Structures are given as C-alpha cells and as structure tokens.
Amino acid sequence: MYNGSNNGRKKEAAPLEEAFNELLKAYRLEGKFREKSLIHEWKELVGKTIADRTESVFIRDKKLYVKLTSGPVKREIQMNKSKILRLIEEKVGEGIVSELICL
C-alpha cells in the first residue's frame, strides 16, 4: 500500500531526457550517441533529394564521410560544406564533426 512518502527519493522525478543525458555522461557515451544521431538524421538534415543519392554516411576521427551516387549532388555538397557543417552543429552540437568529406 502506498503511504505517500518518497522513501528518500528526490521530490520530483527527473524528466526522462535529463536522466538519459546523465546516463550518457556517466558512461562517457555522449559523443558516440551524438554521432549516431547525426547519421540517423542525415535525411532530415539534407533533404530527400540528397538523401536518396547518399549511399553511406559514417564518422571517423571527427570527419563526416558521405558516399554519394550522383556527381552533381557531390559537387553541390562540396560547394555548401560550411552551410552543412553549421546545420550539423545546430542539430547535434559542436565538436562532433569538424570536416565533411564526399566520396
């Protein structure tokens, strides 16, 4: 039977997102999680047209590698690298990737 006491717990439960972020910090997994989030959200970040012509996306040593199937799309991304890097910073935070490499 519940008696209304909180048995030594915090008065307010931490929101799930806050608890999850604390867990990531405790296990030093923030960076990896943000990298995976970026890869997962690539389509949302660049749009359907570019995403449809993207064969693979991966991160190694803070460099985002994007393998594309279209020459014109590859040139478009190369011309807009700084804009894409800014979008990435806004979406997942600073320090996750420092360079964008088209393959």
Residues constituting the chain: 103
Instruction: Using alpha carbons, select from 9, 30, 10 the residue that is nearest to residue 20.
Output: 30
The answer to whether the beta carbons of residues 53 and 70 sit under 8 Å apart is yes
Mean pLDDT for all residues in the chain? 85
Percent of the chain residues past pLDDT 70, beyond the cut: 86
Q: Is the pLDDT of residue 43 over 80?
A: yes
Residue 20 binned pLDDT confidence (cut-offs 50, 70, 90) = confident
Q: Is the pLDDT of residue 3 over 70?
A: no
Q: What is the pTM of this model?
A: 0.74
> Phi and psi (nearest 5°) for 99?
-150, 150
Residue 10 binned pLDDT confidence (cut-offs 50, 70, 90) = low
Domains and CATH numbers, the chain: 30-102 (3.30.300)
User: Distance from first CA to last CA of the chain, Å, rounded?
Assistant: 62
Give the pLDDT confidence of 58-86 residue by residue, as tens digits.
999 999 999 999 999 999 999 999 999 99
Give the pLDDT confidence of 33-42 residue by residue, as tens digits.
889 999 999 9
What is the chain written as a DSSP string? ---S--TT--SSPPPHHHHHHHHHHHTT-HHHHHHHHHHHTHHHHH-HHHHHTEEEEEEETTEEEEEES-HHHHHHHHHTHHHHHHHHHHHH-TTS-SEEEE-
